[in-house]
Amino acid sequence: DIQMTQSPSSLSASVGDRVTITCRASQGIRNDLGWYQQKPGKAPKRLIYAASSLQSGVPSRFSGSGSGTEFTLTISSLQPEDFATYYCLQHNSTPRTFGQGTKVEIK
Amino acid sequence: EVQLVESGGGLVQPGGSLRLSCAASGFTFSSYWMSWVRQAPGKGLEWVANIKQDGSEKYYVDSVKGRFTISRDNAKNSLYLQMNSLRAEDTAVYYCARDLGAGSGSFPFDYWGQGTLVTVSS
């Protein structure tokens, strides 16, 4: 099984800050990775697909990069509505596996 | 508009059974793998199972193998999860999600349902 190691598990940031979240795969997964935002009581919402493609309707302050085993989600300027939990998900193989999540909190 | 609507959750005793359903609309259901994903209270997301377009292949996370069965009815655009021998640790919100589509250029897990809560408790 492919393990996804996501870091940090939580972070505190201020509005306007640049935020970076990392996922590391235990083996190469090409670019078969998505990034998701989840708010309390809601289903996950995809932000990024194919590691670096922005989902339609998602603000351009979100970006993804990486391929193989190292992936990054960047929020260029954190907005109040961005405080949430973020997950990476690999779909290169089954079982699909998620990162442990990163909770982004207000500083 | 793509929609996935889960139903069937509820309170069940340990050792009991429950069948979840997911009604799909707005896309060609029979062209996609489909998955179930769950989230225990206050915890992260965990993929549970998926099923191929024609139902010929099914995969499960180790913790549910032998207890859960995923199935689908393409004529009814519906996905199911039969859960037997339920344990307290199965307590979670269960989401259905659209997995891989046929052909190239498919980027799975683009659409999710709203989730249905399963509580296993005596």
pLDDT tens-digit profile of B40-82?
999 999 999 999 999 999 999 999 999 999 999 999 999 999 9
Q: Does the pLDDT of residue A75 top 80, yes or no?
A: yes
Among A43, A94, A96, the residue with its CB nearest the CB of B115 is: A43
In chain B, what residues touch A89 (CB-CB under 8 Å)? 45, 47, 109
Q: Which residues contact B83 (CB under 8 A, 6 or more apart)?
A: B17, B18, B19, B20, B64, B67, B68, B90, B118
Top pLDDT among A107 and B98 is at: B98
- State the CB neighbour count (10 A cutoff) for residue B3: 12
Distance from CA of B15 to the nearest CA of A (A): 25
Of B25, B40, B18, the residue nearest B95 (C-alpha)? B40
In chain A, what residues touch B114 (CB-CB under 8 Å)? 43
Q: Which residues contact A17 (CB under 8 A, 6 or more apart)?
A: A77, A78, A107
